[in-house]
Amino acid sequence: METGSAVAVRISKAYRGLSAAERRIADFTVANQDVYAHATAEEIARRTETSAATVIRFARSLGFRGLTDMKVFMLENAAPGGEHAEIELPEEPDSLIRETLEYNRGCVNDLAADIEETQVLAAVDALAGAKTIYILASGTSGGAALCACDAFLKLGLRCVLLTDAIFQVMTLSACDDPEHSVVLGICHSGRSRDVLDAMQVAREKGIRTIGIIGSEDVPLARWLDIPLVLHSRESASFSDTMAARICELYVISFLCAGIARDMGEEAVDGIRREVYGGISKKRVKGHGPDSAS
């Protein structure tokens, strides 16, 4: 695969960590550098059968602020006369650990670049001001929901974890204080019937809804007051399930950090001493690696 110029070197180094769609853009860029440098995101997306958002994420995956920044770099670093030295894009498998870490790191970098901080702060305010937080999830997002419940309880927030479809609808239907309640739904696909039904009940009941979703263009977004969108990558070579869980946990950590910051260090320390005091009663004292856990 032919490449050239400074941007081609960046592509070569990042290639193994790119999603399938981003690799199509990379291949097009390598073969059509002059065209790429003057094309719009929509034109590149059309020629690579991707989307404008993926074109922008591709530029960010190479370390640029966006597409414009990348095109300026390409024009400033073009070889004289348009000549490009040839360089081979990697074809042999890299270290399994390194390649997986690069992909997951790319997903986290996409999250950092794309998630709207105003939405995160709005979610922090809603959660901190709620008397009761209902946490919903289904499938593998249930693990992230459990982590969220654990983290919120350790901040002194009253949480109810609901992973059963019937109990989700029953509990929300019976909520007697919707004005001071919040529902946090975690559903990467945004298409789980169980979570959709529960969120619809919550909205119709007048409960404020927050959702952690993989894309804004999913059915669940309709029922959310505050969507927290991951903008997840797609890849046939890696487990999107694992990458989704990593990004969900990052968003939960954003929320916890915001709530803890507003509470103040002294208040957080006091609550955690009480919580961990209770937890310590459930742990067997002894020696060995598990004695302190």
> Could you tell me if residue 99 is inside a domain?
no
236/87: higher pLDDT: 236
pLDDT in tens, 241-272: 788 899 999 999 999 999 999 999 889 899 88
Contact 200, 228 (CB under 8 A): no
Strand stretches in the chain, DSSP E: 132-137, 159-162, 181-186, 208-213, 226-229
pLDDT at res. 84: 44
**Would you say residue 71 has pLDDT above 80?**
yes
123/8: higher pLDDT: 123
pLDDT at res. 42: 87
**Would you say residue 109 has pLDDT above 90?**
no
136 and 82 in a common domain: no
263 and 151 in a common domain: yes
260 and 126 in a common domain: yes
Cα separation, 30 vs 46, in Å, equals 17
57 and 142 in a common domain: no
pLDDT at res. 228: 95
For the residues 9-35, what does the mean pLDDT come to?
86
CATH number where 126 lies: 3.40.50.10490
Q: Which of 57, 92, 127 is the last residue of a domain?
A: 92
pLDDT at res. 238: 53
Terminal-to-terminal C-alpha distance of the chain: 51
Amino acid at 285: K
- Going by pLDDT thresholds of 50, 70 and 90, the confidence category of residue 76 is confident
**Count of alpha carbons within 13 Å of 271, Cβ hemisphere only?**
15
pLDDT at res. 240: 63
> Could you tell me if residue 135 is inside a domain?
yes
198 and 73 in a common domain: no
**Would you say residue 12 has pLDDT above 80?**
yes
**Would you say residue 293 has pLDDT above 50?**
no
For the residues 226-246, what does the mean pLDDT come to?
75
Q: Percent of the chain, pLDDT > 90?
A: 43
Contacts of 285 (CB under 8 A, 6+ apart): 291
> Could you tell me if residue 247 is inside a domain?
yes
pLDDT at res. 1: 39
Amino acid at 241: T
Q: Which of 92, 122, 147 is the last residue of a domain?
A: 92
121 and 79 in a common domain: no
For the residues 195-205, what does the mean pLDDT come to?
96
3-state secondary structure of 97: helix
170 and 88 in a common domain: no
User: Looking at 71-80, 119-128, 161-170, 252-261, which range is the least confident one?
Assistant: 71-80
121 and 86 in a common domain: no
For the chain, the average pLDDT equals: 85
For the residues 151-167, what does the mean pLDDT come to?
94
> Could you tell me if residue 290 is inside a domain?
no
Query: Residue 142 is encoded by which pair of tokens?
Result: 């249930």
pLDDT at res. 87: 42
Nearest to 71 by CA among 108, 103, 32, 105: 32
159 and 65 in a common domain: no
Query: Residue 147 is encoded by which pair of tokens?
Result: 């982590």
**Would you say residue 83 has pLDDT above 70?**
no
> Could you tell me if residue 97 is inside a domain?
no
Residues across the chain: 293
- Containing structural domain, residue 134: 112-280
CATH number where 40 lies: 1.10.10.10
Total domains in the chain come to 2
Q: Is the dihedral of CA 140, 142, 145, 150 positive or negative?
A: negative
**Would you say residue 287 has pLDDT above 90?**
no
pLDDT at res. 183: 98
267 and 195 in a common domain: yes
> Could you tell me if residue 82 is inside a domain?
yes
> Could you tell me if residue 292 is inside a domain?
no
Cα separation, 12 vs 246, in Å, equals 26
83 and 135 in a common domain: no
33 and 154 in a common domain: no
For the residues 3-11, what does the mean pLDDT come to?
75
**Would you say residue 118 has pLDDT above 60?**
yes
- Going by pLDDT thresholds of 50, 70 and 90, the confidence category of residue 78 is low
